[in-house]
Amino acid sequence: MHSRLHFASLPIILTVFITVVILFMPMSTQAQETDTTPSVSGHALESVASCQNVTYGTINTVAEQDVSPEIPHFVVPPNGDGPVTVDIGLFVEGISDINPVNNTFTVEGYLDLIWCDPREGFDPQELGWPEKIFLENDARGEIQLIWWPDINFPTQVGARDSENLELIIFEDGTVEYAERFSVTIEGRFDLRQFPFDTQTLQIEIESLAWSEEFLIFHEDEALIGFSDTFDLPEWDWDTETGLSTHIESVQEIRDDVPFSEFVVDLTVHRLPGFFIVKVLLPMMLIVALSWAVFWMDESSLGERLTISFTGLLTVVAYQFIIGDSLPRLSYLTFMDAMINYSFLMMALTVVENVLVNILRADGNMMIALRIDQASRIIFPVIYAIGIAVLVGIFGISL
């Protein structure tokens, strides 16, 4: 009897258990989904520049603290015994414009800074939150009330556009600042090998106010990199070796003391396909077509010169086209050398036409004919050898 009752109650017990599980699982899941407690930025607290890893012998106090608009707000670095270590990271999202004519390029990315300022520490129990988070305009306002690295791009052209500002202050005084930026930077282009050139785009970041006596940058490798969708029209680059960073000490003429500077070098290679198809190949074809005069009758000087001068004018037109793609340089580029050499070869064609006509007029028909026949071979050979020499002189890697 008891055994029958025990087995009969099993379905009821299982039904109740399954019902309880079904009812409580969505509630638990919903509780997890609606939990909006911010997670502490573990990386910032583990940074070499965080207050967990930095110890100041003496902590400076704020020299003057007044938030009224009439009286400026003065701050001093937190470390009274030496420079403040600032962890810096740069994530390159894209290069939107590389402009050799204006000698500039535009970079977009994310900038991260981490440092320790024990004066900004607070009691999370009293605040009711483990960290202070300021966004956009609130971050702009708060950053003016505390000490911060006051970074800038020393080679920037115009103002830097900053958005998505975020300032996080942790309970121990660790401060993390992040922004998305877009800035146009002055470049240092070497265009001698144009259009087969390789350029190093250098991004420099330093403090506007604090020298090495007060601030030293440290590379945060976890925050340095580039987007997977990184794309440069007309340019190519090596994802493994194309990006390098380092910290250096620099002292400009206008500075009395050196400043710590974070430098990013991005090496890019021009894709020459456009200039090969649109300029070099058509120009070489025009030069080759100008040699058709060597097969024309020696008596038709006018027609021969018409073809030669047409080619010369075409080469001149190409010089104007290339001039719009380059700044006014004090040195020759490979493209300049190719155009000038092609111009020279076509000018020699004109000289050959005149010489043949003079010989014909003097009755030296056989000599004129032999010169034409020899020119059919000599001109292409000399042109090909000359191009090979130019490739070697300019160090072009095809």
Give the span between the Cα atoms of 42 and 36, in whole angstroms: 17
Q: Between 146 and 328, whose confidence is greater?
A: 146
What's the pLDDT at 24? 42
Mean pLDDT for all residues in the chain: 83
In this predicted model, what pLDDT tens digit does every residue of 306-332 receive, in sequence order?
877 787 888 777 777 777 777 788 899
Q: Between 8 and 335, whose confidence is greater?
A: 335
In this predicted model, what pLDDT tens digit does every residue of 188-237 receive, in sequence order?
999 999 999 999 999 999 998 899 999 999 999 999 988 877 777 788 88
Radius of gyration (Cα) for the chain, nearest Å?
36
Residue 43 has pLDDT above 90, yes or no: no
- Record the tokens describing residue 338, joined without a space: 């190719």
Give the span between the Cα atoms of 281 and 182, in whole angstroms: 38
State if pTM tops 0.85.
Answer: no
What's the pLDDT at 192? 95
Which helix H or strand E contains 262, and what residues bound it?
Answer: strand 259-270
Residue 2 has pLDDT above 80, yes or no: no
- Record the tokens describing residue 186, joined without a space: 């002055």
Cβ-contact 245, 111 below 8 angstroms: no
Among 161-165, 227-231, 288-292, which stretch is predicted with the lowest mean pLDDT?
227-231
Specify the DSSP class assigned to residue 160.
P
What's the pLDDT at 394? 95
Cβ-contact 396, 358 below 8 angstroms: no
Q: Between 132 and 12, whose confidence is greater?
A: 132
What's the pLDDT at 304? 78
Pairing type for strands 151-152 and 259-270 reads unpaired
Q: Between 241 and 115, whose confidence is greater?
A: 115
User: For a pLDDT cut of 70, what percent of the chain falls above it?
Assistant: 84
Which helix H or strand E contains 108, and what residues bound it?
Answer: strand 104-116
The tokens 């502490």 sit on which residue? 40
Specify the DSSP class assigned to residue 213.
T
- 145-153 average pLDDT score: 93
- 55-69 average pLDDT score: 63
Give the span between the Cα atoms of 202 and 242, in whole angstroms: 12
